[in-house]
Amino acid sequence: MRSGEVHTAILENGSQIQYVYDANAPRGGMKHTFFTPDKRFAVQFFNNPRDSENPRLQDRIRTIVGIYNPTLSEEDGGALGNTEKTAEYFRQRFCWPVAIVKNPEFGIVCPTYPSNFFFGEGASTVLNLKGKDKKSNWFTGRNRKYLEPAERGDFRTMLKTAIGLSRTVRRMHQAGLAHSDLSCNNVLIDPKSGSAVVIDIDSLVVPNKYAPEVVGTRGYIAPEVLATLELDYNDQRRALPCVQTDLHALPVLIYEYLFFRHPLIGPKIYSTKSAEEDDFLALGEKATFIENPDDHSNRPPNLGVTIQSLSKGLEKLFLRAFVDGLHNPSERPTAMEWETELLKAWDRLVPCANPKCEKKWFILRDELTPVCPFCGTRAAGKIIRLGFKSEMRGKKGVYRGKSEVIVYDKMPLFDWHVFSNIHNDEKADPSMRAYIAYYNGMWLLVNNGIEGMMSPSGRLVPKGSAVELKDMAMFRMSNKENGLLCETMIINGT
């Protein structure tokens, strides 16, 4: 066969797909990849013929393509409870196999990554990046400084990336699946848009179907996996990749997105015998969080911004992940907990008043000292907090807190800020329902499309009209069923 020849693969469902043979096809640890003529899909075959002929591997992949598939609706044979809407949502966040090749040999068909996950022209004046995958470590490692500023994103887009990844991992874990190699290599990110896509899906650990094929990637392997690596594979004491090991890799990635450093790699020397043993202990049996509040032995001298500059909820999760749960997997926060706290932190984001601040945004942790932790600039003007409360079931007129946001000019509000029964997840409508505007010295909440918004005096606020946000003002976001009560608090003045 010659490079450039178009060949035809027969799929298990009886249909056909064409691919272009390439003698220098990209080759990973287990598979090599060809592309369809239009490059919309990748056709992948296994490097080792024994893998492709293994009936257990074939069965595992069939379940991944079928009943465990979050990118396919339940009606079409995908994951339980999946609608077409949620399936479409996760198609943008997983590079999930869509079909199985029967001939010329067993293989899989995957969609190619969206174009924004490849570097284009002008990504760097130093590095030759055009056409390369946007692996996470391009943006969190040393080479970040060589990227053009437009490629790097800012704190807000990196937080958005973390939210998207935690949601994607949460959905995978809800199905009982584990990735087994969640790492900078298998999560592509685009900081410009704040998006992430999880790849290498066919290596997922499926319950009772197939044992993990890979240990993982350096820096993301759970300490218990590294610490027991030399034990026999069938030894019950050996830790293998599973959901709990994903729950170590996930916060490592999130920490890297927010701080551009690894949470365990610090100045501490664990062994003088060899660099390999030192590294093995540093990430395994002796791993120590660089921000451990009770053990400063691995703390870099110039750490800079720390987890104490994030929301209190995120700080607690990082301590659970890298102190309590570092060597005790059952203590690690779930992907859903990460998603929840990251969303709460998102609602406390404010723009930095310093136009030269590289991060541009920060989480307002302390409303009494509203200072950007990255550049030290104090927030200008009033700090306004909106508290959203839902009516307790069976107790008319009695409300409890649901969520809160710190406002800024042009801030959008959505259905989950209006109704108690809607949450910020893959099922929610992302259409803007209202927005914050600073106009003529007044802070306003403008109704962009809410039926039944009420003013503090009890009058209807039609679409296109606004409520002025005065201290202690209270009003209904909607008088419809499940409409939230909004309470305004002005924390400080100019």
Q: What is the pLDDT of residue 494?
A: 43
Q: Residue 79 to residues 72, 76, 93, 193, 201: CA-CA distances in angstroms?
A: 7, 9, 15, 28, 15
Residues 50, 151 within the same domain: no
Low-confidence ranges of the chain (pLDDT < 70): 209-211, 213, 394, 493-494
Residue 362, in any domain of the structure: no
As beta bridge partners, residue 458 has none
Residue 247 DSSP class = H
pTM greater than 0.85: yes
> In whole angstroms, what is the distance from residue 205 CA to residue 178 CA?
5
Residues 268, 304 within the same domain: yes
By the 10 Å C-beta count (0-12 exposed, 13-18 middle, 19+ buried), 252 is classed as buried
Residue 458, in any domain of the structure: yes
Residues 97, 139 within the same domain: no
- CATH number of the domain that residue 401 is part of: 2.60.200
Q: Which of 367, 360, 362, 358 is nearest to 346 (CA)?
A: 362
Q: What is the pLDDT of residue 385?
A: 97
Q: Which of 44, 108, 70, 60 is nearest to 212 (CA)?
A: 60
Render pLDDT for 88-131 as a digit per residue (tens, 0 to 9). 999 999 999 999 999 999 999 999 988 999 999 999 999 999 99
Q: Which of 264, 256, 260, 257 is nearest to 325 (CA)?
A: 264
Q: What is the pLDDT of residue 468?
A: 96
Residues 397, 450 within the same domain: yes
- CATH number of the domain that residue 304 is part of: 1.10.510.10
Q: What is the pLDDT of residue 404?
A: 97
Q: Residue 109 to residues 12, 295, 341, 424: CA-CA distances in angstroms?
A: 11, 48, 36, 32
Residues 284, 424 within the same domain: no
Q: Which of 177, 188, 237 is nearest to 212 (CA)?
A: 177
Q: What is the pLDDT of residue 52?
A: 86
> In whole angstroms, what is the distance from residue 263 CA to residue 178 CA?
22
CA dihedral (192, 204, 178, 162) in degrees, to 10, reads 0
What is the domain range of residue 33?
A: 6-112
Residues 31, 86 within the same domain: yes
> In whole angstroms, what is the distance from residue 447 CA to residue 479 CA?
13
Render pLDDT for 296-347 as a digit per residue (tens, 0 to 9). 999 999 999 999 999 999 999 999 999 999 999 999 999 999 999 999 999 9
Residues 292, 386 within the same domain: no
Residues 246, 328 within the same domain: yes
Q: Residue 223 to residues 187, 263, 322, 421: CA-CA distances in angstroms?
A: 20, 13, 11, 40
Q: What is the pLDDT of residue 201?
A: 87
Domain end, chosen from 326, 346, 366, is at: 346
Mean pLDDT of the chain: 93
Residues 256, 396 within the same domain: no
Domain end, chosen from 346, 367, 397, is at: 346
Q: Which of 394, 413, 468, 395 is nearest to 403 (CA)?
A: 413
Residue 220, in any domain of the structure: yes
CA dihedral (99, 102, 104, 105) in degrees, to 10, reads 90
Q: What is the pLDDT of residue 310?
A: 97
Long-range contacts of 293-297, Cβ-Cβ distance < 8 Å, separation of 24 or more: 293/319, 293/323, 294/323, 297/268
Residue 236, in any domain of the structure: yes
Which residues, including other chains, have CB under 8 Å from residue 121's CB and lie 6 or more apart?
A: 130
Quick one: residue 481, left, alpha or beta (phi over 0 = left, psi -120 to 50 = alpha)?
A: beta
Residue 200, in any domain of the structure: yes
Residue 369, in any domain of the structure: no
| Total domains present in the chain | 3
Q: What are phi and psi of 358, to 5 degrees?
A: -65, -35
Residue 488, in any domain of the structure: yes
| Prior bond of 456 cis (ω within 30°) | no
Q: Which of 305, 327, 303 is nearest to 315 (CA)?
A: 305
Residues 262, 210 within the same domain: yes
Q: What is the pLDDT of residue 28?
A: 78
**Quick check: helix, strand or coil at residue 137?**
helix
Residues 298, 161 within the same domain: yes
Which residue do the tokens 């993301």 mark? 220
Residues 183, 79 within the same domain: no
Parallel, antiparallel or unpaired: strands 41-46 and 99-103: unpaired
Domain end, chosen from 328, 346, 364, is at: 346
- CATH number of the domain that residue 28 is part of: 3.30.200
Residue 358, in any domain of the structure: no
Which residue do the tokens 């008088």 mark? 479
**Quick check: helix, strand or coil at residue 439?**
strand
Q: What single string gives the DSSP state of each residue in 63-115?
A: HHHTTT-TTS-GGGT-STT--HHHHHHHHTTB----EEEEESSSEEEEEPPPG
